Amino acid sequence: MNNTVKLLLPVIVAIVVALLPTPEGLSVNAHYFFAVFLGVIVGLILEPIPAALIGLTGVAFCATFGLVGNASESIKWALSGFSNGVIWLIFAAFMFALGYKKSGLGKRIALLLVKLLGKTSLGLGYAVAFADGVLSPFMPSNTARSAGTIFPIAINIPQLFNSTPENEPRKMGAYISWVAIAATCVTSSMFLTALAPNLLAISLVEKNAGIVISWGEWFSTLAIIMIPLFLAIPFLSYIFYPPTQKTSPEAPAWATKELEAMGPISKKEILMLGLGILALVMWIFGKQIGVNSTTAAIAVLCLLVLTNVISWDDVISNKGAFNVFIWFATLVAMAAGLKQVGFLKWASGLISTGLTGMEPVTIVILLVVLFFLFHYFFASVTAHTVALLPLFLGIAANLIPAEMMQPLAMLLVGSLGLMGIITPYGTGPSPIWYGAGYISQATWWKLGAIFGAIFLGALILLGFMIL
């Protein structure tokens, strides 16, 4: 599909939906707003232009034509995402990721783990997984973490054993690649700050269900299954997709040489480690000490600049961070608009009719399973979150007791990282690891189905534990 078709398709979808008769019970404005929203989602899936521009265009169109109210209401709605504290938290946390990369701390941690654990193939799997696990609470972009920090190191390991995409990929490279992507999917669900859409999701949960999810509550609830799942990933990969090379004495020697080349730990690395821990402590205990998580992130960002771990030029020139800031701010506004114009109330009521009469626990599990499986149709966790999370919460609010909404919300947001495993395009790092060439498309889909079933099964088990 060429870029022109990708650019026209979202517009065509929006126009066709807008021209359809307005359903009974839905206002004309809500109908038109949904048409634009659907066009934005299709645009995010195809991405013919930058994602942030797609979101900004959708917001500008709806505000200009008054689809959410009069002129004053429209501008207030259009700018609402930019004043959202979670969006600023995401922006600040992206700077933490830059600090880990620029200081060299992320690379040092990964190499140390290879040096300590890399004598066997299974040990290398754990080294790659633990490197991701250590960095995940501090890096909200799993693409920056897995593809930007882990990949450049891990992809060198198979080559030590002459394992390349063209020559014996199963010897080492395929196993390392699968462990890396599976581990980052689990860590992305283990910590609130390990995946940017997690932070977007808790904002949508608060807006649509009135439920506030803190860093500590996220971890204490989901860790019950995420920690065992994380620890099992290298072993499960070893069982379902074993490397043909079982020992790897060359890997620790290579890591030792790389560490020697880096030299002793630098002042910037020590500062980055200390400030990263400070941010984590404030995120975990912020409620007890009266510090908002966004306030903590911005304060630590200032310290990163003041201590010269990163420079102010690094902040203002970080295109990725500003792109995500605008992208998520506009998507928060678009999602809020669905509720504001009454579309979510209408759609959730319509769908709820088909589920009426089921047991509440059955409804919760069914919603979690469908929410997970619908990710086969999305190439973006963010698009999935914005399109489906408010709708599923609205359906649940009509059918289950109020006390079950909190557990359901936790299960839905906790699935966002896990669902990335099912396809070669399911989450940010997937195309990078798939593009390395060690795992064929057919194998990826097969392993994705196996590990997707394991991850979903673990999530359902958690559901029965907390409901």
| Predicted confidence band of residue 230 (pLDDT cuts 50, 70, 90) | very high
pLDDT band at 451 (very low <50, low <70, confident <90, very high): very high
CB 416 within 8 A of CB 376: no
Mean per-residue pLDDT for 42-70? 90
Least confident of 32-36, 227-231, 356-360: 356-360
In this prediction, residue 285 carries a pLDDT of 79
Least confident of 73-87, 121-135, 167-181, 398-412: 73-87
pLDDT 10s digits, 81-105: 888 887 887 788 778 778 878 888 8
pLDDT confidence band for 459 (50 / 70 / 90): very high
Q: What is the mean pLDDT of the chain?
A: 89
The answer on pLDDT for 377 being more than 80 is no
Q: Which amino acid is at 465?
A: M
Residues 171, 245: contact at Cβ < 8 Å? yes
SS3 120: strand
pLDDT in tens, 188-219: 999 999 998 999 999 999 989 999 998 989 99
Q: DSSP H helical segments within 247-318, as ranges?
A: 250-262, 267-289, 293-306, 312-316
Q: Dig out the tokens for 150 from the structure.
A: 């882990």
Lowest mean pLDDT, pick from 19-33, 87-101, 111-125, 420-434? 87-101
Radius of gyration, CA atoms only, the chain: 22
Q: Please, is 170 exposed, middle or buried when counting C-beta atoms within 10 Å of its C-beta (0-12, 13-18, 19+)?
A: middle
Confidence of residue 36 (pLDDT cuts 50, 70, 90): very high
The predicted-structure confidence for 281-305, as pLDDT tens digits, reads as follows 888 777 777 788 888 889 989 999 9
Helix axes 381-399, 319-340, angle to 10 degrees: 30
Highest mean pLDDT, choosing among 272-286, 373-387, 434-448: 434-448
